[in-house]
């Protein structure tokens, strides 16, 4: 099996050709220099670039130890976080575990049931979650880089109450793990006050680039997945994707294709998978690219689809609707399961032509069929071939997208490491909720609603 994920843009021709790739090389080199030759002392957001090799080994051991404790004393782990503080671990756990993991008997599950909270304000979700965890041993991993994000902060206040009522303050504190800034923020303060074990989100790693830090690794390890192997995959990606030359660097090719298609009014990118387990990989990818690129009136709009399911809903639009999109397909090459269609005597459903074929074979044909159909319909297709769904390739994929995203933002001429626009709704919400310090905004909003 190859040690890498490969990228193929041959199905984006005639929109992209080799000459375009040669022309864009100089811009790629310039951005590459910036990404790699940074001043290591500068406070930038490039800590993720070397992270697969230069991560904190001592903290890594503590993560493994904490994960072991959670696995031995908990039936349930609740991971509290939003955006980059939960999407990466959710993506890893969903894509690398049994599809119905939480419903399996404990002995078949390899670790506690894992639930996510603090990624919205839904009352019924929280009530239902509390129903489900009754009579079970529970631990919490609360994750917030800033330590002040409202959704996880509220969920933590409520679930901490639940835990303290159930176990008492002291025992609850032994079941709470906080992942946050090393010194500032409300969460760090609370952790010190109550004695929670803490893990660090490095200063120079932004939330959406943080899945390979404690942010992602603790929940992933608690789910029984091999985080060492994940880091090895990321290390290999780091090695291969540190090539400056576009012809040798698949992440840069992908970034270049996105930019070239964008320039031809293909302003929407649809990340496509043929495996429901990958749903949250797409959700993670959407945040990575949307927060990194959507600014200054620029940016590709990232959307996602799960095929063949969505071919039966939005397939019509993709084939014949407005021609403003391209697809990037996550193609999983092999599958260890082998469910085949058997022949029947009467062939009453007309499916005997498929006998002996596995569902994996059929899925592969759906992929090729849609690829050709959509390309014929002027929807360019980029393909990322992933040899197998496992920890190694997950780590590789994360690093691939992070590198491509940083390059892609640089080509667009935006800062791929900030997200100033996310504050606008928060400001209004705080004003409407009466948060101290937002009185002026509240007045403006009041006038606006009276008009
Ligand atoms: O980890 P934190 O600081 O709670 O932030 C969660 C998410 O919220 C955002 O800051 C947007 O508000 C994202 O960039 C981030 O991933």
Report yes or no on 61 lying in a domain.
yes
> Same structural domain for residues 288 and 362?
yes
> Last residue of a domain, which of 396, 412, 428?
412
Domain end residue (candidates: 225, 251, 278): 225
In a domain, 128, yes or no: yes
pLDDT in tens, 420-430: 999 999 999 99
255 and 357 in a single domain? The answer is yes
> How far is it, in rounded angstroms, from Cα 90 to Cα 96?
10
**Choice among 43-57, 135-149, 350-364 with the minimum mean pLDDT:** 43-57
Q: Is residue 435 domain-resident?
A: no
Residue 323 resides in a domain? yes
The arithmetic mean of pLDDT across residues 169-196, rounded, is 97
| Centre of ligand 1 from the C-alpha of residue 86, in Å | 10
Residue 335's pLDDT band, with cuts at 50, 70 and 90, is confident
248 with 334, same domain: the answer is yes
Closest atom of ligand 1 to CA, residue 146: 3
Nearest atom in ligand 1 to the alpha carbon of residue 419 is: 14
Residue 239 forms part of a structural domain? yes
Q: Which residue, 225, 252, 285, sits at the end of a domain?
A: 225
- Which residue's CA is the nearest one to ligand 1's atom 7? 83
User: What integer is the mean pLDDT of 363-391?
Assistant: 98
Are 219 and 236 members of one domain? no
Binned at pLDDT 50, 70 and 90, residue 121 comes out as very high
In terms of DSSP H, where are the helices of 294-420?
A: 315-320, 359-376, 391-412
Nearest CA to ligand 1 atom 11: 422
- Residues 6 or more apart from 46 whose CB is under 8 A from it? 35, 38, 204, 406, 417
Q: Are residues 68 and 204 in the same domain?
A: yes
Same domain? For 93 and 219 the reply is yes
- CB count within 10 Å of CB 133 equals 19
Q: Is 391 a catalytic residue?
A: no
User: What is the best residue among 48, 79, 80, 85 to mutate for testing ligand 1's pocket, by most ligand atoms within 8 Å of CB?
Assistant: 85
Is position 387 within any domain?
Answer: yes
Tell me the per-residue pLDDT of 31-70, one tens digit each, with 9 for 90 and over. 999 899 866 555 579 999 999 999 999 999 999 999 999 9
Given 426, 427, 439, 443, the catalytic residue: 426
CATH of the domain at 56: 3.40.50.10490
pLDDT tens for 1-15 read 889 999 999 999 989
Residues 344 and 198 in one domain: no
Per-residue confidence (pLDDT) for residue 38, from 0 to 100: 67
Distance between CA 61 and CA 57 in Å, rounded?
Answer: 6
| Spatial contact of 381 and 319, defined as CB atoms under 8 Å apart | no
Q: Please tell me whether residues 270 and 368 are part of one structural domain.
A: yes
Residues with a CB atom less than 6 Å from ligand 1: 82-85, 144-146, 149, 152, 207-208, 291, 419, 422
The neighbour count for residue 226, using CB atoms within 10 Å, is 15
Contact 191, 178 (CB under 8 A): yes
Does a structural domain hold residue 142? yes
Q: What ipTM was predicted for this assembly?
A: 0.99
| Co-location of 20 and 163 in the same domain | no
The Å distance, Cα 85 to ligand 1 centre, comes to 7
pLDDT tens digit sequence for 74-89? 999 999 999 999 999 9
| Residues 33 and 114 both lie in one domain | no
Domain match, 260 and 126 both:
no
Using alpha carbons only, how large is the chain's radius of gyration in Å? 23
CA–centroid distance, residue 355 to ligand 1 (Å): 49
Domain extent, residue 133, equals 50-225
**Nearest-angstrom CA–CA distance, 431 and 449:** 13
Nearest protein Cα to ligand 1, atom 14: 207
Q: What is the pLDDT at residue 65?
A: 98
Please state the domain count of the chain. Answer: 2
Determine, yes or no, domain membership for 446: no
Looking at every residue in the chain, the average pLDDT score rounds to 96
Annotation says 440 is catalytic:
no
**Whole-structure pTM value:** 0.97
Nearest to 293 by CA among 407, 373, 199: 407
Q: Are residues 154 and 30 in the same domain?
A: no
Question: Which candidate in 269, 291, 293, 402 is catalytic?
Answer: 291
pLDDT digits 0-9 by tens, 207-219: 999 999 999 999 9
Closest Cα to residue 209, out of 441, 93, 73, 52?
Answer: 52
């Amino acid at each position: 099996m190859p040690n890498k994920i490969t990228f193929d843009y041959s199905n984006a021709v005639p929109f992209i050709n080799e000459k375009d790739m040669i022309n864009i090389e100089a811009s790629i080199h310039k951005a590459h220099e910036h990404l790699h030759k940074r001043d290591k002392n500068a406070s930038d957001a490039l800590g993720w670039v070397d992270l697969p090799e230069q991560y904190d080994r001592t903290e890594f051991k503590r993560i493994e130890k904490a994960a072991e404790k959670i696995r031995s004393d908990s039936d349930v782990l609740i991971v509290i976080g939003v955006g980059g503080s939960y999407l990466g671990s959710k993506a890893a756990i969903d894509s690398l575990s049994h599809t119905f993991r939480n419903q399996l008997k404990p002995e078949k599950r390899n670790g506690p049931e894992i639930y996510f909270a603090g990624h919205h304000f839904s009352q019924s979700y929280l009530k239902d979650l509390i129903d489900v965890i009754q009579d079970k041993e529970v631990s919490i991993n609360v994750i917030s880089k800033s330590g002040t994000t409202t959704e996880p902060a509220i969920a933590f206040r409520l679930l901490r109450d639940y835990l303290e009522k159930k176990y008492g303050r002291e025992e609850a504190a032994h079941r709470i793990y906080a992942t946050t800034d090393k010194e500032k923020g409300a969460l760090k303060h609370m952790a010190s006050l109550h004695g929670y074990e803490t893990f660090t989100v490095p200063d120079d790693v932004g939330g959406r680039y943080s899945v390979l830090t404690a942010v992602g690794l603790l929940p992933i390890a608690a789910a029984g997945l091999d985080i060492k192997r994940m880091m090895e995959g990321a290390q290999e990606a780091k090695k291969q994707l540190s090539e400056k030359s576009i012809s040798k660097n698949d992440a840069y090719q992908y970034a270049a294709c996105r930019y070239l298609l964008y320039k031809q009014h293909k302003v929407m990118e649809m990340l496509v998978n043929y495996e429901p387990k990958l749903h949250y990989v797409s959700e993670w990818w959407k945040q990575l690219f949307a927060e990194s690129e959507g600014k200054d009136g620029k940016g590709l709009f990232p959307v996602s689809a799960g095929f063949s399911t969505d071919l039966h809903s939005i397939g019509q639009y993709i084939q014949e609707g407005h021609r403003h999109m391209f697809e990037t397909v996550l193609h999983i090459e092999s599958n260890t399961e082998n469910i085949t269609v058997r022949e029947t005597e009467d062939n009453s459903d007309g499916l005997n032509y498929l006998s002996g074929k596995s569902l994996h074979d059929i899925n592969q044909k759906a992929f090729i069929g849609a690829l050709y159909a959509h390309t014929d319909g002027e929807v360019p297709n980029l393909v990322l071939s992933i040899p197998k769904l496992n920890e190694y390739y997950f780590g590789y994929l994360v690093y691939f997208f992070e590198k491509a995203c940083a390059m892609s933002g640089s080509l667009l001429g935006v800062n791929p490491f900030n997200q100033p626009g996310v504050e606008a709704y928060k400001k209004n919400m705080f004003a409407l909720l009466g948060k101290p310090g937002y009185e002026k905004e509240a007045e403006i909003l009041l006038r606006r609603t009276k008009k």
